[in-house]
Amino acid sequence: MWLYLVALVGLWTLLRLIRERKVMSHLQDKHVFITGCDSGFGNLLARQLDRRGMRVLAACLTEKGAEELRNKTSDRLETVILDVTKTESIVAATQWVKERVGNRGLWGLVNNAGISIPSGPNEWMNKEDFAKILDVNLLGVIEVTLSMLPLVRKARGRVVNVSSIMGRVSFSGGGYSISKYGVEAFSDSLRRELSYFGVKVAIVEPGFFRTGVSNSDRHLCSAKMLWDRASSEVKEIYGQKFLASYMTGLKSLDQKCKEDLSLVTDCMEHALTSRHPRTRYSAGWDAKLFFIPVSYLPTFLADAIFYRASLKPDKAL
């Protein structure tokens, strides 16, 4: 009995590997639009796809980031300045893309742009702190996608949305996890709707990687700003001991982050170039072996794991 089961699992795994290795043809004719290419995953993916011969349309927030990317890539790659929080910037970028893809349409849209600060305990924040992150990580993804969708549909192409393991398990305050949960929900509904038009939607869920989003110095500055702004009641409840421990934890963030960003960009590339892309990609062993399994645990068990590992306010029960 067990031998048949092992053989069945082995055969299924082999067939899946063979199926996933099938690559789309004429990749050199396909255009891919990527947001957030100044640094991190977007920057590396743009260079990676450019080396593969694809026609990369890279959106950067700053002219400096765009110039540095152009200096590292071929003449095929083109850049545009895009602020995903501004409708007029998205409209202009969409028109720019339309002029370049023509009747072929846009093969790939990669929603990669994102921020993670302000971050800290929820009680330290106000509505604007949450809105700042949601505006980029969720509403920006939605508006860019809706604007580019006619071009993607024309090519029967791909949409790749960058979420996070924190879109599965929320273990810190602020708008980041909220935004990533929203990306997961938007992607799921989009995938089902667009399947009728031959468009595939994939979600990439990275673990902890060393990028601008995870920069510990930025998180330290953000936490200090939130603490200084907090009310005297909040400061008394949480206490200086909690603050010191929290800041120490942020300083050690870099030690937990992996430097090999290609673990993530390889997932993105596969989603764009494979004939049979996955619905979800988890990148990093922390995502595969800890966070994803924890997300399937009963709530009380997941809560117990994070409760034991979390910091306690000075006046906690």
Kindly list the domain boundaries of the chain, sorted by start residue: 21-226+258-305
pLDDT on residue 153: 97
Q: What is the pLDDT of residue 311?
A: 67
Q: In whole angstroms, what is the distance from residue 257 CA to residue 218 CA?
A: 15
**156 and 277 in contact (C-beta within 8 Å)?**
no
Identify the residue with better confidence: 35 or 245. Answer: 35
Residue 312, pLDDT > 80, answer no
Q: Find out if CATH 3.40.630.30 is the number for domain 21-226+258-305.
A: no
Region 259-278 average pLDDT: 95
Closest CA to 269 of 106, 51, 49, 22: 49
- For the segment 125-137, the average pLDDT, to the nearest whole number, is 96
Which tokens belong to 140?
């920006």
pLDDT at 316: 63
pLDDT bracket for residue 42 (50, 70, 90): very high
Q: Which is nearest to 35 in space by CA: 76, 74, 86?
A: 86
pLDDT at 317: 54
pLDDT at 63 over 80: yes
| Per-residue confidence (pLDDT) for residue 1, from 0 to 100 | 67
**pLDDT band at 14, cuts 50/70/90?**
confident
pLDDT of residue 306: 83
Where is average pLDDT lowest: 178-192, 234-248, 256-270, 278-292?
A: 234-248
State residue 44's pLDDT score.
97
Q: Starting from the edge strand earliest in sequence, which strands make up the sheet with 108-111, in order? A: 78-81, 55-60, 31-34, 108-111, 158-162, 200-206, 280-283
- Asked which of 56-65, 235-244, 268-277, 303-312 is least confident by mean pLDDT, the reply is 303-312
Three-state secondary-structure class, residue 132: helix
Tell me how far apart the alpha carbons of residues 79 and 37 are, in angstroms, rounded to a whole number. Answer: 9
Q: Which residues pair with 80 in a beta bridge?
A: 59
- Estimate the crossing angle of helix 139-155 against helix 87-101, to 10 degrees: 20
Res. 187 pLDDT band, cuts 50 70 90: very high
pLDDT (tens digit per residue) in 274-287 = 999 999 999 999 99
* Catalytic residue ranges: 176
Burial status of residue 17 (CB atoms within 10 A of its CB: 0-12, 13-18, 19 or more): exposed
Provide the sign of the torsion angle of the four alpha carbons 284, 272, 138, 86, taken in this order. positive
pLDDT band at 50 (very low <50, low <70, confident <90, very high): very high
